[in-house]
Chain A
Amino acid sequence: MVEILKELEDRFQVTDLVQQKDHLAFVSVDKNKAIPMITWLKDQAGYTSLTLLTAVDWLEDGKFQLTYMINNPKKNSQIAARVMIDRENATMESAHHLWESIRIYQRELKEMFGIDFPGSPEVDESFILEGWVDIPPYRRDFDTKKYSDETYFPRPGRQSNDPAEYMKSKMYPNE
């Protein structure tokens, strides 16, 4: 693990190395170097298996974090590459040429986060949501509670009381 991380530093200038546990390490890599690094890991270093590709919305920083987690089944070693991309017009190079399965992840990310992967097969087809018109729902600024309140009807007659407020209203309303 240590050697491969060292190699990644040299070859792809990865930063923020965190060895989370024996067989799992996180690294940050520049957007332009991400796909070359993953390709290298897959073809040269035995990281042949894709565990997952997903995104984290860092709304405050205006960034999406893409996490490519790949696995070396022979060495039981897992590397997760964090790639920070701009939230505005979020676009990332597609990796569908590397794994057949990755187009599904990319399609879901397009739908749920609005991150585009130009060239990825079926990337524009809806995956889970049909006829969705709102902003991509997994973005942090999509308010599920608000959506639910507006879309569905709450059960009538429900009312709750905060214990402290209720006690105040009954025991010392004038203070």
Chain B
Amino acid sequence: MSIKDLLTPFTAWKRITKEPVTIRDPFNDRPGAERYRGFHKNDVNKCIGCGTCEDICENEAIDMVPFKDPISGDSGLRPRLDYGRCCWCALCVDVCTTNSLTLSNEYTWVTVDPEDFRYTPGVDKKAWDDNEKGWKKPEGSYEFYNINRVEMHHLHPEDRDKSFVEMVKGYSREQAIAEADRCVECGICTATCPAHMGIPEYIKAVRHEDMEEGLRILYETNPLPEICGRICTHKCETVCSIGHKGDPLSIRWLKRYIADNVSSDKYKEILNTKDLSNNHKKVAIIGSGPAGLSAAHYLALMGYQCTIFEQYEKAGGMMRYGIPEYRLPYDSIDKDIDYILSLGVDIKYNTRIGTDITLEQLNKDYNAVFAGTGLHLGRSTGIPGSDNEHVYYATDLLRQITAGEEIEVTDQIVVIGGGNVAMDITRSLARMQNQKFGKVNIITTALEREKNLPADLEEVVESREEGAIINPGWAPQSIEIENGRPVGLHVIKCNSLFDDTGRFNPQCDITKKEFFPGSMIVQSIGQGMDLSFVNEDFKKDLEFGSRGRVVTNAYFQTSVKWFFMGGDIIEGPDVIHGIANGHKAAIGIDNYIQGIDFTPAK
């Protein structure tokens, strides 16, 4: 040690001339940084109340509280923060499925009431609601789950456009687990599914590779998983929370994955349906479509003796006779139906009510009757020339194809219609043209414009891949007939379908005309119900509502107490509504037969 050590510390005195570094008013003079993790903000209109923020919060600082009535795709709940617990880690922001939840850069909040520190961001207005700065996950930087769907292997267009082989191959084990991993288990989808299937639960079963548990969950609400797993309109996927910033979960393919991976001989054991009770009550079911099969399934589980009356020689209704084989192979239909029939459900084929047996007779022989007769009558455009014998209805052609009957296929076809049925017939005819002529020459036109087409997007895309021309936005005017057969369709431009009040009122521009040449015209603009099995006297007892539909209560009971109706004739049209209706009707029928009073509000 030296004298230097005594003096050197005094060099600190040189700082006496330095400016002070303190900030006079840090709260007002010093805003938080761009990424600061300050108080929460929530865009309540973007938020769907999925509750994933609540699930990830390790501090249990978030409650989901009611904000508005739930609607399909929005639980109506919004996150409420408890700042007595929050640690501002922002995991809730990072996991948010809609990117609605963010943090502001505000960090000071003084209040005398500690209860103020529980608040619902976005609902309880705060001074920092409009702060642009604060933590938000940088766009495209990272996600806590894969927002991209696991690609499903499809047959290439050139491999599928000549045959009716199933084109969607189904997920492999790895693919299914990876896809199931994307689910955040919010359960928003369940309300939207007409059958209210336990979707997060069966996806979890896929994740855990527990197919038996998965199958049990499926059959709780849906006895046709093989079918639904292929052709369901998957309304659930349209509301999937992951779909808000990426691809929705492939809920439909995961359902199919479960059903595909359980062999049918194990069903009874897994579903515990080997020994069903029998209550010696009988129910007649008209039609073996989804509604009828679903009703029969759930009634059979309750111990009822069900008999299905089917007008064609095979069961399945529109699922078999309306949907082409490349989308829904017959053995998949058979797997689901055979299981239901194995529960002791009786089926009488080639039996039409009204001609082979009367409804009154059914009433006498059975305790209740359920009708799921569907929409089988094709609607006509009614334009000049539509009564020509080479102008067809799509439903008729599809049924004939399934039944193996010979149908006319020309080398130039025009299809009118923009729904899934129109796409089905387009693609079926395209395949047949390909087989017969080696090329596809088919034009499908519809009133709706491209972005409003009622058909699923993938159906339109795949139709085009297979060589069909989809040219929407035209109103059919007349069919040109030469020498007793069509040569084409005259159309004019259709600008809009609905007026300001939402009424169907097409606005067309007659100066924009077009002619689609075709030697065969197919109409696919919707189907109507066929009530010919009901005699006129009975019809008087049935209550009809607007648009000619039969009125039923929430359990699908008509104004005639023993007569229940469901499926496409009541709701839909699609398979999943039929299944949901059949299930609900089964409960209603059970209550009716047992004499339990049920007066639900519709």
Judge whether B75 and A167 touch: CB under 8 Å.
yes
In the complex, A165 Cα to B196 Cα: how many Å? Answer: 11
**CB-CB < 8 A to A163: which residues of B?**
49-51, 64, 75, 77, 186-188
- Of B65-73, B127-135, B267-275, B331-339, the stretch lying at the interface with chain A is B65-73
Contacting residues, chain A, for B82 (C-beta < 8 A): 155, 158
Q: Does B64 contact A160, Cβ atoms closer than 8 Å?
A: yes
Query: Which of chain A's residues have a CB closer than 8 A to the CB of B554?
Result: 174
Of B63, B70, B115, B186, the residue contacting A171 (CB under 8 A) is B70
Q: Across the interface, do B584 and A166 meet the contact criterion of CB distance under 8 Å? A: no
Contact present for B76 and A170 (CB under 8 Å): yes
Distance in Å: Cβ of A12 to nearest Cβ of chain B: 39
Query: In whole angstroms, how far apart are the Cα atoms of A158 and B63 in the complex?
Result: 7
> Bound state CA distance, A166 and B64, in angstroms?
10
Q: Judging by beta carbons under 8 Å apart, are A172 and B54 in contact?
A: no
The B-contacting residues of A in range 118-175, CB under 8 angstroms, are: 155, 157-168, 170-172, 174-175
- With A155-B82, A161-B77 as contacts: A167 and B191 at CB distance below 8 Å: yes
A residues 37-79 touching B (CB-CB < 8 Å): none
Partner of A168, one of B66, B69, B191, B200: B191
The answer on a CB contact under 8 Å between B69 and A159 is: no
Q: In the complex, which residues of chain A have a beta carbon less than 8 angstroms from the beta carbon of B186? A: 163-164
Enumerate chain B residues within 8 angstroms of A161, measured Cβ to Cβ. 63-66, 75, 77
Closest to A170 in B: B70
Q: Which residues of A contact B77 (CB under 8 A)?
A: 161, 163, 166
**Is there an interface contact between A166 and B600, defined as CB atoms closer than 8 Å?**
no
Tally chain B residues at the interface, Cβ within 8 Å: 28
Type the 1/0 row for B58-96, where 1 means its CB is closer than 8 Å to any CB of A. Answer: 000011111001100001110000101000000000000
Separation of A162 and B186 alpha carbons in the complex (Å): 8
Q: Which residue of A lies closest to B200 (CB)?
A: A164
A164–B65 contact, CB under 8 A? Answer: no
Across the interface, A160 reaches (CB within 8 A) one of B54, B187, B196, namely B54
Contact of B70 among A158, A159, A166 (CB under 8 A): A166
Whole-angstrom distance between the Cβ of B202 and the nearest chain A Cβ: 13
CB distance from B481 to the nearest CB of A (A): 51
Residue of A nearest to B191 (CB): A167
Task: Give A53 to B134 CA distance when docked, in angstroms.
Answer: 43
Q: A residues within 8 A CB of B584?
A: 175
A160 touches B188 (CB 8 A): no
Contact in complex: B84, A172 (CB < 8 Å): no
User: How far is B554's CA from A155's CA once the two chains are assembled, in angstroms?
Assistant: 42
Residues of B within 8 A of A165 (CB): 187
Interface size class for chain A? 10 to 19
CA distance A171 to B77 in the complex (A): 13
| B191 surroundings in chain A (CB, below 8 A) | 164, 167-168, 171-172
Give the complex CA separation of A174 and B600 in angstroms. Answer: 8
B190 interfacial contact with A, CB 8 Å: yes
Chain B residues lying within 8 Å of A159, measured Cβ to Cβ, are 63, 65
Residue of A nearest to B79 (CB): A160
A175 and B196 form a contact (CB under 8 A) = yes
**Chain A residue contacts of B66, Cβ below 8 A:** 161, 166
The answer for the CA separation of A163 and B188 in the assembled complex, in Å, is: 7
* Alpha-carbon distance A159/B120, docked complex (angstroms): 13
Q: Is the CB of B65 within 8 A of A172?
A: no
**Chain A residues positioned under 8 Å from B63 (CB to CB):** 158-161
| A155 close to B84 (CB less than 8 A) | yes
Residues in A whose Cβ lies below 8 Å from that of B62: 160
Say whether B76 contacts A162, CB under 8 Å: no
Instruction: Give Cα A155 to B86, complex, Å.
Output: 13
The 8 Å CB contact of A162, one of B65, B84, B115, B187, is: B187
Residues of chain B with a CB closer than 8 A to A170's CB: 69-70, 76
Question: CA separation between A76 and B339, bound complex, in Å?
Answer: 64
- A168 & B196 in contact (Cβ 8 Å cutoff): yes
Residues of B contacting A171 in the complex (Cβ-Cβ under 8 angstroms)? 70, 191
Provide the residues of chain A in CB contact with B187, threshold 8 Å.
162-165, 167
Interface residues of A in 96-117 (CB under 8 A from B): none
Q: Which residues of A contact B70 (CB under 8 A)?
A: 166-167, 170-171
Once the chains are docked, how many angstroms separate the CA of A30 from the CA of B4? 63
Which positions 174-191 of chain B face chain A at CB distance < 8 Å? 186-188, 190-191
A168 — nearest CB in chain B belongs to which residue?
Answer: B191
Minimum CB distance partner of A161 in chain B: B64
CB closest residue in chain B, given A156 = B115
Contacts of B200 in A (CB 8 A): 164
**Bound CA span A166–B50, Å:** 11
Report how far A14 CA is from B600 CA in the complex, Å: 71
B residues 414-433 in Cβ contact with A at 8 Å: none
Q: Which residues of B contact A162 (CB under 8 A)?
A: 51, 64, 187
Please name all residues of chain A whose beta carbon is closer than 8 Å to the beta carbon of B76 when the two chains form the complex. Answer: 166-167, 170
Cα(A164)–Cα(B54), bound, Å = 14
Shortest CB-to-CB span from A159 to chain B, Å, is 6
Residue of A nearest to B61 (CB): A158
Whether A167 contacts B64 in the complex (CB less than 8 A), given A155-B82, A174-B600, A175-B584, comes out as no
Task: For the complex, give the distance between the alpha carbons of A161 and B186 in Å.
Answer: 12
Asked whether, in the complex, the Cβ of A172 is within 8 Å of the Cβ of B64, the reply is no
Query: In the bound complex, how far is the Cα of B66 from the Cα of A165, in angstroms?
Result: 12
**Quick one: which of B213-254 are within 8 Å of A by CB?**
none
**A172 — nearest CB in chain B belongs to which residue?**
B196
How far, in angstroms, from A49 to B192 measured CA to CA in the complex?
Answer: 62
Interface residues of B in 150-188 (CB under 8 A from A): 186-188
Complex CA distance for A161 and B453, rounded to whole angstroms:
37
Which A residues touch B84, using CB under 8 A? Answer: 155
Which B-chain residue is minimally distant from A154 (CB atoms)? B60
Q: Is the CB of A164 within 8 A of B600?
A: no
Q: Which residues of A contact B54 (CB under 8 A)?
A: 160
* Most B-side CB within 10 Å, residue of A162, A163, A168: A163
Nearest chain-B residue to A167 (Cβ)?
B191
* Residues of chain A within 8 A of B65, CB atoms compared: 159-161
Q: How far is the CA of A108 from the CA of B84 in the complex (A)?
A: 31
Do residues A167 and B188 form an inter-chain contact, with CB atoms below 8 A?
Answer: yes
* A-contact 0/1 string along B195-222, CB 8 Å cutoff: 0100010000000000000000000000
Q: Give the Cβ gap from B260 to chain A, nearest Cβ, in Å.
A: 26
**Can you list 21 A-B contacts (CB < 8 A)?**
A157-B115, A159-B63, A159-B65, A161-B66, A161-B75, A161-B77, A162-B64, A163-B50, A163-B51, A163-B64, A163-B75, A164-B200, A165-B187, A166-B64, A166-B70, A167-B75, A167-B190, A167-B191, A168-B196, A170-B69, A171-B191
- Closest 7 pairs between A and B when the two form their complex, measured CB to CB: A164-B187, A163-B75, A160-B63, A167-B191, A167-B70, A163-B51, A161-B64
Q: Which residues of B pack against A, CB within 8 Å?
A: 49-51, 54, 62-66, 69-70, 75-77, 82, 84, 115, 118, 186-188, 190-191, 196, 200, 554, 584, 600
Beyond the given pairs A163-B50, A164-B187, A168-B190, 6 more chain A to chain B contacts, judged by CB atoms under 8 angstroms and listed by A's residue number, are A161-B65, A162-B187, A166-B66, A168-B196, A175-B196, A175-B584
